[in-house]
Amino acid sequence: MNGALPNLMLFAGNAHRDLGQRIAEYLGVSLGRMVSTRFSDGEIRLMVEESARGTDVFILQPTCAPVNDSLVELLIMLDAFRRASAKRLTVVMPYYGYARQDKKVKPREPIAARLVADLVQTAGANRVVTVDLHADQIQGFFSIPVDHLYGGPILGRYLVEQGYRDDPDVVVVSPDVGGVGRARSLAEMLNAPIAIIAKRRPEPNQVNIMEVIGDIEGKRCVMIDDMIDTGGSIVRGAEELKSRGAKEVVACCTHAVLSGVAAQRLQDSVISRVVAMDTVPLPDEKRVPKMTCLPIAPLLGEAIRRIHQDESVSSLFDDWK
C-alpha cells in the first residue's frame, strides 16, 4: 500500500501507459500491476495482478486511437475492478473519444457521446475525470460526478513565459463561435483582445471560412482549440488570418490527435508554432520541429490526489474563468 496516499491505487491501460507512469511518479506511488493481452481472435484478455479490495482505484485510459480498442479495454478494466471489490472506481479519461458526436445534427444520427457515458457507468465507474471536453454538455450525460479539468491554464502559463502577455500586438483567436469561452479565458491570462473565426462544416473534417470578426491586421494571433485532428481546420483558419494581414499565427490545443498526415500538414503550414499537451500519445514521428508538447501529468496527478483526499478540484482553476 502507498505510504503517502494510503488506500490509493493507480492503473493504466494500454492507450497511454507512459502518461500513467508519469502520474504515478508525481503522486509518489507505484503503477498498479496489470496485464492486458489478446486472445488469438483479438479479444482483450485482462488480469489484475494485485488485490484491489476496499481501495480507491483510479484507472487512466484516454479513449484515443485505436478508439474502439481503448474504449473496450476501459470497460473490461472497470468490470474487473468492480468484481475485485474495489471501494471506488474513478476513470481518468484525459481525452474523451466520440465527444464530437454529442448531438443530432441530421436525422437518424446517434448521440455516441451519451452512449459512451452510459457504457462507462454501466461497467462500474463511480466518478470520471476528463480534460477539455469537446462539448461541455457531455458532463450532463453522466449521473455520476464528473471532474472537468482545463488545459488552458497550462497553455497560458507557457505563453506568458514565451513573452505573449501584455504584448499589444497579441490577439487570441477562437477558431469557431463555440470556442469563444476558451479563447476569452486565455485572452484574460494574456491581457489580450480576442477575435473569432466564423465558419461552417459542410461535412466532418471539412471547413468553410465565412468571416473573421476582430482586428487581426499586423497582430500575433494565438489560436486556441480543444483538439487538432486532421489539421485542416486550424491550417485553413491560419491561412485566412495571414491573408488578412496577421503577422504571426500560433496554434494551441489540448488534444494533439493528429490523424494521418496532420503533423506534416502543420509543419508545412503558415503556422509558426504548435503548442499542445500529451493527453494522447504523441509518437516521435509526429513531433515535428514546430511542435511543443507540454506535460499534463502534474495536473492529472494533483486532481487525483485531491479527489482521493476529498479536497477541492475546482480551486485548481481559480485563474481560469
**Residues with catalytic annotation?**
199
CA–CA separation, 16 and 61 (whole Å): 7
Rounded distance, CA 160 to CA 163, Å? 5
Q: How far is residue 89's CA from residue 122's CA, in Å, rounded to a whole number?
A: 12
Question: Length of the chain, please?
Answer: 321
- Which cell is 112 given? 455516441
Question: For 56, phi and psi rounded to 5 degrees?
Answer: -95, 100
Which residues, including other chains, have CB under 8 Å from residue 133's CB and lie 6 or more apart?
96, 99, 139, 148, 226
Q: Determine the 3-state secondary structure of 178 from DSSP.
A: helix
DSSP 8-class letter at 177: G
Contacts of 206 (CB under 8 A, 6+ apart): 232
Task: Give the C-alpha separation, 25 to 239, whole Å.
Answer: 41
Q: Are 256 and 133 in contact (CB under 8 A)?
A: no
- The answer to whether 58 and 26 have CB atoms below 8 angstroms apart is no
* Chain centre to alpha carbon of residue 129: 11
Nearest one of 220, 225, 217 to 275, comparing CA atoms = 225
C-alpha distance across the termini of the chain, in Å: 38
